């Protein structure tokens, strides 16, 4: 999530590997479908060798 975003920022971030992108001001109609979609994804387990993001 970011503020002062340009329309092209979303595509750049998604192309870089982000799962989703939303900019401020956040609207519930945009946020809730993303939360629901991502809550169904399998959890990623981190090991001691995996650096935390």
d(CA 34, CA 15): 17
Which has more confidence, 47 or 2?
47
Longest dimension (CA), the chain: 38
d(CA 6, CA 31): 18
Domain boundaries along the sequence of the chain: 7-37
Q: What is the pLDDT of residue 25?
A: 82
Over the stretch 3-39, which tens digit does the pLDDT of each residue have? 667 778 888 888 888 878 887 888 889 888 888 776 7
User: In this model, does residue 53 exceed pLDDT 70?
Assistant: no
Q: What is the pTM of this model?
A: 0.46
Compute the C-alpha angle 12/14/20, nearest 5°: 135
Q: What is the pLDDT of residue 11?
A: 84
């Amino acid at each position: 999530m970011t503020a002062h975003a340009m329309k092209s920022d979303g595509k750049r971030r998604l192309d870089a590997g982000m799962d989703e992108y939303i900019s401020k001001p956040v609207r519930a109609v945009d946020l809730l479908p993303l939360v629901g979609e991502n809550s169904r994804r399998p959890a990623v387990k981190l090991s001691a060798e995996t650096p935390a993001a």
